[in-house]
């Protein structure tokens, strides 16, 4: 078959992920990388929730796929909407990397009891942080990892900025100091890479299936089902983490908060293998019953 065209954003992290997929495909077929700039990379000023964030980093690649300009698109799964455009599908999920969040700081000695200014564009990170540190303030931080790190370096008023650990680790960036945020729940799918293709492209689907990690796929599918049931996009302050333990049980933790962090609903549930298919939905319904419904109403009013 002809060389498979891999579509990707042109940031250092996106290209790293695309090259990883290229290496895997090259073990079976030929593959070339096509760089495409997304709408989310062009506008680095507007907060994500003001940009109609659903698919802001994936829409351009979706169009290229549907127009047959590329054969697969490679994404950080947390950026992929839970509802893909008609005609497209997730063909494979690669083994998950570090799912945690980091606070990158300039000074290793930091006093969290003091009023600090922290930078992030994520409402999820902001809400969980303010729930823990209500006396802190936030400023918006947009751009790829390299851009955000430079902005942090240049801004003398920021105590630190929040990042997904997987992105920093993947491209081996040198950072001054970081604090692992063990208490912060990640975005659904965080740390996982998705390969998207056309539904009817059986040759590409067959090749990509070789790279699918079943345990990762089961866990992130539950997380995305949790998000979809709550009718949340990747800009909403919704977090979920599913893991499969040594006994084969799936454990799901999830939460939803108001943007100011003052109100929070959280759940932790366990499921047997027979219940994996609906685990995310069951967890979401439980959190809606436990105060999540009222919180989501307030959030949607706040970001209108």
Q: For the full predicted model, state whether its pTM sits above 0.95.
A: no
**CA distances in angstroms from 14 to 41, 171, 287, listed in the order given:** 11, 10, 33
Min mean pLDDT across 69-73, 176-180, 224-228, 249-253 is at: 176-180
Instruction: Find the mean pLDDT for residues 64-73.
Output: 94
Q: What fold is seen in the domain 227-302?
A: Double Stranded RNA Binding Domain (3.30.160)
**E-assigned strands of 140-225?**
160-164, 177-180, 193-198
Spatial CA neighbour of 238 closest among 221, 218, 253:
253
CATH architecture label of 4-95+189-212: 3-Layer(aba) Sandwich (3.40)
Strand intervals (E) in 13-99? 31-35, 72-76, 88-93
Q: What is the CATH number of domain 101-180?
A: 3.40.190.10
Q: How confident is the model at residue 13 (pLDDT cuts 50, 70, 90)?
A: very high
DSSP symbol at 19: H
Kindly list the catalytic residues. Answer: 79
Q: Tell me, what DSSP letter sits at residue 109?
A: -
pLDDT, residue 190, reads: 97
- Supply angle C-alpha 180, 125, 82, rounded to 5: 110
Token pair 């609906």 is found at: 278
pLDDT in tens, 154-175: 999 999 999 999 999 999 888 8
The more confident residue out of 252 and 303 is 252
97: pLDDT strictly greater than 60:
yes
The confidence score (pLDDT) of residue 48 equals 39
Q: How far is CA 153 from the centre of its chain?
A: 24
**Residue boundaries of the structural domains of the chain:** 4-95+189-212, 101-180, 227-302
Structure tokens at 121: 């564009």
Domains 4-95+189-212 and 101-180 share a fold: yes
What residues contact 181, with CB distance under 8 A and at least 6 apart? 100, 101, 102, 103, 162
């Amino acid at each position: 078959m002809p060389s498979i065209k891999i579509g990707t954003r042109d940031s250092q992290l996106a290209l790293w992920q695309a090259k990883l997929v290229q290496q895997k495909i090259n073990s079976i077929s030929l593959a070339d990388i096509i760089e495409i700039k997304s709408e989310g990379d062009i506008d680095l000023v507007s907060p994500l929730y003001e940009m109609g964030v659903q698919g802001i980093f994936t829409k351009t690649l979706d169009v290229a796929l549907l127009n047959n300009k590329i054969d697969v698109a490679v994404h950080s799964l947390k950026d992929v909407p839970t509802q893909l455009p008609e005609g497209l599908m997730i063909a494979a999920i690669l083994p998950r990397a570090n799912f945690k969040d980091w606070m990158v700081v300039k000074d290793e000695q930091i006093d969290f009891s003091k009023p600090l200014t922290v930078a992030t564009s994520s409402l999820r990170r902001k809400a969980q942080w303010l729930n823990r540190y209500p006396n802190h303030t936030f400023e918006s931080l947009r751009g790829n990892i390299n851009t955000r790190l430079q902005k942090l370096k240049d801004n003398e008023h920021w105590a630190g900025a929040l990042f997904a650990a997987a992105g920093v680790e993947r491209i081996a960036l040198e950072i001054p100091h970081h604090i692992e945020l063990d208490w912060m729940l990640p975005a659904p799918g965080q740390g996982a890479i998705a390969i998207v293709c056309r539904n009817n492209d059986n040759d590409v689907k067959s090749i990509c299936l070789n790279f699918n990690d079943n345990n990762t796929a089961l866990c992130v599918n539950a997380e995305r089902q949790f998000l979809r049931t709550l009718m949340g996009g990747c800009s909403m302050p919704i977090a979920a983490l599913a893991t499969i333990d040594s006994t084969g049980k799936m454990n799901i933790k999830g939460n939803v908060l108001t943007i100011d962090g003052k109100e929070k609903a959280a759940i932790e549930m366990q499921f047997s293998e027979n219940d994996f298919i609906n685990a995310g939905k069951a967890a979401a319904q439980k959190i809606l019953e436990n105060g999540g419904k009222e919180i989501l109403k307030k959030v949607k009013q706040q970001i209108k």
